[in-house]
Amino acid sequence: MSYEITHWIGGRESAGTGSTQPILNPATGEEVGTLHLGDAATVDEAVRAGAAAQRDWARVSLAKRTQILYRMRQLMLEHTDEIAAAITREHGKTLGDAKGEIARGLETLEFATSITQDLKGGFSENVSSGVDAHTMRQPLGVVAGITPFNFPAMVPFWMHPIAIATGNAFLLKPSERDPSASNIVARLYQEAGLPDGVFQVVHGGKETVDALCTHDGIAAVSFVGSTPIAKHVHATATAAGKRVQALGGANNHAVVMPDANIAFAAGQIASGAFGSAGERCMAVPVAVTVGDAHEPFLEAIRAEAEKLVVGPGDSPETDMPPVITAEARDRVIRMTDEAEQAGATVLVDGRSLVVEGYENGNFVGPTVITDLDRTHPTYTDEVFGPLLVVMHVPNFDEALELVNSSPFGNGTAIFTGSGHYARRYQEEVQVGMIGVNVPIPTPVGYYSFGGWKDSLFGEHHAHGPEAVGFYTKQKAITTRWPHQDEHLESSMSFPTHD
Ligand code: NAD
């Protein structure tokens, strides 16, 4: 099988004039397709098509917009298998995991079908004598989304349904590692009746991203990816006068209290650490054991890690798939080596794993490390692979201090049987999304998703109500209708209310 993925501009495929790069299957190492990369000219063509389409789209009734979104939801359900297969082929994750991310992405589409409620303005009668006030929210124009490889369907869905429902044209720049899902979504939007140009896809890397961040015709940029690129996008696009939300990397900690159900906590943390080979922004790469929880937790997590079946994402037996690239695999191995050289204990060692029949795949086994110093990069940095570091502290206060000392603040969890410590944790931890006995506390689509500190740059979280605010701007209107014969005194003073 070999295919070509081109841009989707103005409702049709367009190869553009940029270069190409291979699309690889992480389970086999094989080249499965070719991707056309964009450049400044491709971005300009898409922005012009988007601007022309957006002028009419902003005037389409809320009823019509909602009907299109409902049709889109139905088409997504009918094509879930096709999209999941493309994700597994290019990303590597299991088919079940790929279907799960599509379902979680659809939560935002479902939220967007209620845009009739969210775009209601306020109205106040007689704010002054004979004067009324009301507000309304209007779209920004053409907005862009730049997304990471690890959720090729869900993360773009955090953005485009709400951007489109609120009357914008949306320009998606997905990851160059797994681009196919975005083109299928573009085709389905067209089939659902969305006017051409309202949803477009431009592929590429840094050149395309930088063109999006600086193009005059783009009003806002939503970014999700690693912290260094989030900072770059935030700085570049805000300097160009755009509204920006840039979600960055993570190093999420799960605290295990001595009063927790340790077997349950270990199972949940194993799922958070090794599900999708640890390539989730809400993965759990650090467990913090408190007091007497340490030894039983080590025993339980070792058992959980050792029972996982590692293999290709399209095999029903597979629990843990390959990582995205050979470089990502080598990074996990190197960071384990460095921790071991610094005196850490490697409790479960995935470094030498080979999957029979898939010798060229990017496989590395689940790895568990403990006895590591809190300043070591294998603990402090984002590994983004199936590597769990277990840190040990004597009490709750030191656990809280350790979690709060991380520069990241995306997600965290506490496993405990104590309401007292659960409540203190959610009140005092410096993190945006918190789970109590829940390892991956990803908010549902009708709440918003976002971290603190180096995990988010900008004021708005993604999807849910905050996205409605991000993709619209408010007008406040003050109205007076004096009768043509009415005599009203004018004054040079600043108006007060009577
Ligand atoms: P990445 O930062 O390498 O890439 C993200 C996007 O930026 C891609 O579209 C890519 O093409 C583009 N890009 C890459 N290098 C660039 C450069 N030098 N200049 C401009 N653009 C560039 O991230 P990734 O490896 O695709 O995804 C994994 C990262 O994303 C992890 O750090 C993970 O934590 C993070 N992530 C965060 C969230 C969140 O909600 N906070 C969600 C998913 C993933």
Confidence of residue 8 (pLDDT cuts 50, 70, 90): very high
DSSP string, 301-322: HHHHHHTPPB--TTSTT-SB--
- Write down the pLDDT at residue 71: 98
Q: Is 21 helix (H, G, I), strand (E, B) or coil?
A: strand
Q: Which residue, chain included where needed, has tokens 């005599």?
A: 487
Q: pLDDT band for position 493 (50/70/90)?
A: confident
Out of 93, 229, 282, mutate this one to test ligand 1's pocket (max ligand atoms within 8 Å of CB): namely: 229
**Positive/negative CA dihedral, 311, 316, 319, 324:** positive
305 C-alpha vs ligand 1 centroid, how far in Å?
27
Find out whether 276 and 285 touch, Cβ atoms under 8 Å: no
State in words which class domain 253-436 has.
Answer: alpha beta
For residues 162 and 66, give the distance between their C-alpha atoms in angstroms, rounded to a whole number: 11
Query: Is residue 213 annotated as part of the catalytic site, yes or no?
Result: no
The two three-digit tokens of residue 130, written as one number:
């004979």
Q: What are phi and psi of 462, to 5 degrees?
A: -90, 160
Instruction: Give 415 Cα–ligand 1 centroid separation in angstroms.
Output: 30
**pTM for the full model?**
0.97
Residues 416 and 257: beta-carbon distance below 8 Å: yes
C-alpha distances out from residue 82 to 99, 130, 236, 352, Å: 10, 59, 36, 33
Mean pLDDT of the region 164-181: 98
128, β-bridge pairs: 131
pLDDT at 114 over 70: yes
User: In percent, how much of the chain has pLDDT > 70?
Assistant: 100
CA-nearest residue for atom 27, ligand 1, is: 148
pLDDT at 472 over 80: yes
Give the distance (Å) from ligand 1 centre to CA of residue 74.
Answer: 30
Q: How far apart are CA 168 and CA 188, in angstroms?
A: 18
Topology at the third CATH level for domain 3-248+455-477: Aldehyde Dehydrogenase; Chain A, domain 1 (3.40.605)
What pLDDT sits at residue 355?
Answer: 98
Catalytic site residue from 83, 244, 269, 281: 281
Nearest CA to ligand 1 atom 42: 281
Predicted confidence at residue 284, as pLDDT, reads 98
The residue nearest atom 17 of ligand 1, judged by CA position, is 206
Cα–Cα distance, 201 to 373 (Å, whole number): 44
Across 356-363, average pLDDT = 98
**Residue tagged 């349904």 (tokens):** 161
Sequence-distant contacts of 117-120: CB under 8 A, at least 24 apart? 118/465, 118/468, 119/62, 119/166, 119/468, 119/472
Mean pLDDT over residues 66-89, rounded? 98
Please tell me the predicted confidence (pLDDT) of residue 488. 84
> 86 is written with which tokens?
């493309």
Residue nearest to atom 12 of ligand 1 (CA): 205
Residue 192 CB less than 6 A away from ligand 1: no
- Taking residues 159-163, what's their average pLDDT? 98
| Structure tokens given for 414 | 């506490």
Main-chain phi, psi angles of 322, to 5 degrees = -75, 170
3-state class (DSSP) for residue 362: coil
User: Would the CB of 168 count as within 6 Å of ligand 1?
Assistant: no
One-character DSSP codes across 94-147:
-HHHHHHHHHHHHHHHHHHTTHHHHT---EEEEEETTEEEEEEEEE-SEEEEE-
Say how far apart CA 109 and CA 160 lie, in whole Å. 8
pLDDT at residue 491 tops 90:
no
Strands 387-393 and 3-5: unpaired
Residue 498 has pLDDT above 80, yes or no: no
**Cα(53)–Cα(68) distance, rounded to whole angstroms?**
16
Q: Which residue has the tokens 């495929």?
A: 13
- pLDDT attached to residue 112: 98
Domain boundaries, the chain: 3-248+455-477, 253-436
* Tens digit of each residue's pLDDT (9 = 90 or more) over 144-153: 999 999 999 9
pLDDT score at 1: 67
pLDDT score of 358 more than 70: yes
Helices 80-91 + 180-192 axis angle, to 10: 160
- State which amino acid sits at residue 497: H
Average pLDDT over residues 217-227: 98
pLDDT at 54: 98
Token pair of 242, please? Answer: 């755009």
Q: What is the pLDDT of residue 448?
A: 96
Per-residue pLDDT tens digits for 422-431: 999 999 999 9
| Range in 14-23, 74-83, 407-416 with the lowest mean pLDDT | 14-23
Check pLDDT > 90 for residue 90: yes
Amino acid 269: pLDDT: 98
Order across the sheet with 3-5: list the strands: 3-5, 31-36, 20-24
Q: Is the pLDDT reported for residue 497 higher than 80?
A: no
What integer best gives the mean pLDDT of the chain?
A: 97
